[in-house]
Chains A and B, each alone.
Chain A
């Protein structure tokens, strides 16, 4: 047992057969006895592990960073109040690169390597759609904060839930009456050429038609486009409202070029704040947006009528009255979406408690307990507002805010009602086998 360098010469360190045997015996004892105790404890005190699929890199990175901050704040609050079923909650973060392929890999990694209890997810619709099959295959409950209609369309699977943020179809339906009544009747749509944009393409025209308005042109723009002037000639001259949904880092260019194209003589603008999340509304070039309107899930700027719960939530996440990080006014948050992380985690807590969740073997019970939820009351756990939940389509429905850009701030001018956004279910996840 020796080589030239003595690497394998165990006797050098006084390692004899006797000590080896002793060590073996002790090791075996350690492995068996206390291990047994640890296993017994796992049921009661080992932390619940939540795998967090985050857009750390790629085009969604700004969202990822704020989703992480909100999640950390929510978990801190949940743990401080005693955790879930008396157990602390631990979050394990993996980067999905804002990429569907990597998203699916990350879900697989959570299932097989980290062995998390659930996976908690992400914003970009293509990542969610790409990851959902992996979650279904691993029978891993997958809670997303994505805003898209893909969950509610019942085209994914029984393990995917969106209980913290209203889907696009509902948002559009609830806001269409306001657009038709206040902005204009002839609408041109500009949207990104992928899943999230298609939700807008497909659901806005019928929603507006029901209000006596119409979509007169639809312009799809590739998500990687960096220059937009070339699309503007397609906007018909009689357009009264430009309805814009742009996602990605190029949105500032979009607004700036729109400003150069139209000058002060522009149609009304109605947009989804998604484009300008994490972007300071007072950035150079955005003056053009003054007086235009935006959808906001949760308002970025503190409003005069904010509830105590909303104030407490903002303080916990660490955003100031302008929706930027406390202490860094340039670090603007993704306030319109990230509240969904906070609320989703409280839904998970509620469902786990209802199910008496103990460990991965109870995942099916957790799915059923989540499906049994009906409504969430406005309060510290749901600071954005009250919501109803449809267990058949795994989707929640809440209020929407329409905000006007005024004096470099976003001011909420209209709040929709939950009923405005309800629609006929397109399917039923609960009929799928678990």
Chain B
């Protein structure tokens, strides 16, 4: 294959990775930014989203788009509810202590993973895409659904940005992020905000998973890679910064797509990790983060 089409394919692949990564990482970034909780179980919420998508699409017969749309709405809601319960039962009781919550979320990771193994099983199960249109380019074919993921993710990111910057809920969240004690003094129910943000973070991961599951499969171990990549993205972009998260996700996704196609996937991972190290050394707050106070 010639260089041009090859690069085009690499870019498309990279953009799909970026799109999903941006949503997943944004969830992680929000939770850290507002609550200062490092949520190690974030990848498992992603996995839960995919597994639930499989369950919902299997339960609903008819055109695959019906089941998929239902999954896109219901799966994140269920995952959000589970996250809310976890936040109430675990994180709140630890007073959001940074060290304790890391250990607690590691525990949650294993609990969710093993529950999925017990009730869902070890198989990778496919979900039918809502539509299967194959875009025929002169050099290769490409899945139309994959392109729609990029669009859907962009829309969701814009929606999240609007909520954060243009609504009262967003204002409350930003206030809590900026200074939770002062926010509380001004009558903001910080406890409820924390619960909501944790659920929202999990829901973003679940949405990303529902989007990706028709081109990947639901599997009980699928949460590990997104977790690692999300951490990489969040560290590079700056914790709690929406803009940084998106820029870093595109950067990591594209470089992963292009480097792994022209060189090797291992090199892509090496470079991503090196980038994290460089950012931590020279700009610990991340590309767009503000220094912690």
Q: What residues of chain A have their CB less than 8 Å away from a CB belonging to chain B?
A: 57-59, 61-62, 64-65, 221-222, 224-227, 229-233, 237, 249-253, 256-257, 260-263, 278-279, 283-285
Contacts and interface: CB of A to CB of B under 8 A. Distances in A.
Given A61-B117, A253-B215, A263 B134 contact: yes
Given A62-B123, A256-B215, A279-B123, 19 more contacts: A61-B117, A61-B121, A65-B121, A222-B266, A226-B216, A227-B13, A227-B216, A233-B9, A249-B219, A249-B221, A249-B222, A250-B217, A253-B215, A260-B141, A260-B143, A263-B134, A279-B124, A284-B126, A285-B126
Contacts of A59: 221
Contact of B6 (A233, A253, A278): A233
Contacts of A61: 117, 121-122, 220
Contacts of B16: 227
Nearest to A226: B216
Interface stretch (B187-195, B202-210, B257-265): B257-265
8 contacts: A57-B122, A59-B221, A61-B220, A65-B122, A230-B260, A230-B261, A232-B140, A249-B123
Contacts of A65: 121-122
A-B pairs, top 3 by smallest CB distance, nearest first, are A61-B122, A249-B124, A230-B261
Contact of B13 (A229, A237, A249, A253): A229
Interface string B108-135: 0000001001000111101010000010
B126 A283 contact: yes
Contact of A227 (B17, B136, B219, B221): B17
A57 B6 CA distance: 38
A253 B1 CA distance: 22
Given A252-B124, A260-B134, A226 B225 contact: yes
Contacts of A249: 123-124, 217, 219, 221-222
A169 to B, nearest CB: 27
Contacts of A62: 121-123
A95 to B, nearest CB: 11
Contacts of B216: 226-227, 250, 253
B114 to A, nearest CB: 8
A250 B126 contact: no
Interface string B1-14: 10001100110010
A175 B136 CA distance: 35
Contacts of B6: 233
A229 B9 contact: yes
Contacts of A233: 1, 5-6, 9, 140, 261
Contacts of B222: 226, 249
A262 to B, nearest CB: 7
B142 interface: yes
Interface in B266-282: 266
A51 to B, nearest CB: 21
A257 B225 CA distance: 20
B265 A225 contact: yes
Contacts of A57: 114, 117, 122
Contacts of A252: 124, 126, 217
Contacts of B122: 57, 61-62, 64-65
B217 to A, nearest CB: 5
Contacts of A226: 216, 222, 225
A253 B217 contact: yes
Q: Which of A64, A232, A260 is packed against the most chain B CB atoms within 10 Å?
A: A260
Contact of B123 (A229, A278, A284): A278
B155 to A, nearest CB: 22
Contacts of A260: 134, 141-143
Given A279-B123, A284-B126, A230 B1 contact: no
Contact of A224 (B17, B117, B126, B225): B225
Interface string B209-244: 000000111011110010000000000000000000
A293 B59 CA distance: 32
A232 B117 CA distance: 32
Contacts of A257: 143, 215
A261 B124 contact: no
A253 B214 CA distance: 9
Nearest to A64: B122
